[in-house]
Amino acid sequence: MSARTKSRKRALDILFSADVRGEPLERALAVEQERADARPERASSWPYARQIVQGVIDHADEIDDAIAEHANGWPIDRMPAVDRAVLRLATWELEHNPEVPAGVAIDEAVELVKELSTDDSPRFVNGVLGAIAKTPRATA
């Protein structure tokens, strides 16, 4: 598993747990920073995970607007929490990280929901992210 894949999983854990607990993402990120400082053996996955979560925090409204616009009748609050977290992570990558090709961001997101969510989630996440990827990439 690549370092970026591990980082995405770590970011997903933070996004998902904050969402489910109703905890502010800033607080979840701070708690994870404390864990990262205490566990140097996991240091390789932390910088990009932190970048993703901070990016989702910084662009939360814009990210949720993009997801809602392309989710075709699925309000964000009705989506499974895992799908919502993965969509936020991947939308940040699509719109604000030009280092990640759109196909990679989408493929990684689909793989995460295949592993962690419902049978319908891979097709749904792929469709939403594919539509978002067709819109002009925002400049971070």
- Domains in the chain: boundaries: 3-133
In the DSSP assignment, the letter for residue 53 is H
pLDDT above 70 for 71? yes
Burial 84-93 (b: 16+ CB within 10 A, else e): bbbbbbbbbb
Work out the mean pLDDT of the chain and round it to a whole number.
94
Predicted TM-score of the model (pTM): 0.94
pLDDT above 80 for 32? yes
- For the segment(s) 3-133, the CATH number from 1.10.3720.10, 1.10.940.10, 1.10.760.10, 3.30.980.10 is 1.10.940.10
pLDDT reported for residue 44: 83
Query: Is residue 19 within 8 Å of residue 84, measured between CB atoms?
Result: yes
